[in-house]
Amino acid sequence: MAGKRKRGADSTSREPQVQNTTLPQKKYYRQRAHANPFSDHALEYPASPDAMDWSPHYPAFAGTGKTPEFADVGCGFGGLLIALAPLYPDTIMLGMEIRVQVSQYVQDRIEALRATSALEAPPSETVSTPGPYQNVSIVRANAMKFFPNYFPKASLSAVFFLFPDPHFKARKHKARIISPTLLAEYAYALKPGGIVYTITDVKDLHDWMRTHLEEFPLFEPVSEEALREEGRGPILDAVYRSTEEGKKVERNKGQKWLACFRRLEVKRE
């Protein structure tokens, strides 16, 4: 694709694709739980947001000028995207996942859901309105390196960091997805008033993310109660319960720590 660059090589094999009308099975896409963000993975990425052609990702919205508004960083098996897609059908959502097998699973899952929904929808709906799940897609990407390559300034209204890799050892804290440098990139892409959602079952990581966001001048904390009053309850419910990690924590009767922050508007003198 024009405007794309490629880094490195990846020896991970890929399982055969499943039929579009059959939902993929996770057992054929298994991979290690985490990937090293500093490794030189085989990645294609746009040279800039302007070089990104979104029409293959969202064909039903081609020509509308719409670009992603929700970004799920480290989207895993796509639980959040699938949960939110029918709730916000006019909002374009993008998952970012570095693991090749996992990202392929999400892509196949979305394609299967689109195909199944198209077969079940009345003919009038398939012509006049975009079908279900047309508003979600995924890119295999390393958000720590290439987040600004995908999103223009003030283009996002929500960024999600759900159960990210805690990188327990102190020498690996530099690989955590929240840091002052990365927060500058997230703030650049977020609209004023946009929300950063973080959740984890690791208290140390929760404290790390919350403290870095509190100390960053372009974010202010916002309570769960305030967000629900603003009508964001469905988003918060999905943040808590839609991901594979979140469901695992519930099965194990673990605790989840949520922290949300609003992007401030900078007033120029």
* 105: CB partners within 8 A, 6+ apart: 24, 26, 28, 29, 77, 78
Which residue numbers belong to the known binding site?
A: 74, 97-98, 142-143, 162, 243-245
Which residue numbers belong to the known binding site for S-adenosyl-L-methionine?
A: 74, 97-98, 142-143, 162, 243-245
CB 206, CB 176: distance < 8 Å: no
pLDDT above 90 for 64: yes
pLDDT at 86: 96
Distance CA 91, CA 62 (A): 14
pLDDT above 70 for 30: no
pLDDT at 16: 36
Cα separation values, 8 from 39, 42, 124, 143, 215, Å: 9, 5, 46, 16, 35
Lowest mean pLDDT among 3-12, 75-84, 185-194, 196-205: 3-12
Distance CA 198, CA 259 (A): 5
Distance CA 194, CA 232 (A): 12
Write out pLDDT tens, residues 96-154: 999 889 999 999 999 999 998 776 666 554 445 788 999 999 999 999 999 999 999 99
Fold held by 42-263:
Rossmann fold (3.40.50)
201 belongs to the catalytic site? no
Distance CA 45, CA 7 (A): 9
Nearest Cα to Cα of residue 158 among 99, 246, 75, 98: 75
- The residue from 72, 108, 165, 201 that is catalytic is 165
pLDDT above 50 for 67: yes
